[in-house]
Copies of this chain bind each other. A is one copy, B any other.
């Protein structure tokens, strides 16, 4: 499965969800859904904006966990 680690990056940056949503340019409600893995796809434009806002890589935000991984 794919895990979204926006919360981890927010913590590292000491940034709020509200601020991130403003920087990325999507509504607070949608950013919350995104952060909590309540979405089934991501637009590359959104991923791009997230990387820019959080100064990180797609690999920082998206993690692959195989079924029997720790």
The answer to whether residues A64 and B41 also contact, given A2-B58, A58-B59, A59-B59 and a CB cut-off of 8 A, is: no
Partner of A43, one of B41, B51, B56: B41
Q: How many copies does the complex hold?
A: 2
Q: How far is the CB of A38 from chain B (nearest CB, A)?
A: 11
Is A33 on the interface with B (CB-CB < 8 A)? no
B40 in contact with A52 (CB, 8 Å): no
A42 in contact with B42 (CB, 8 Å): yes
Residues of A with Cβ closer than 8 Å to B? 1-2, 39-45, 47-48, 51-52, 56-60, 62-64, 66
Closest 10 CB pairs of A and B: A59-B59, A58-B62, A51-B64, A41-B43, A2-B44, A2-B48, A41-B41, A57-B64, A2-B47, A58-B64
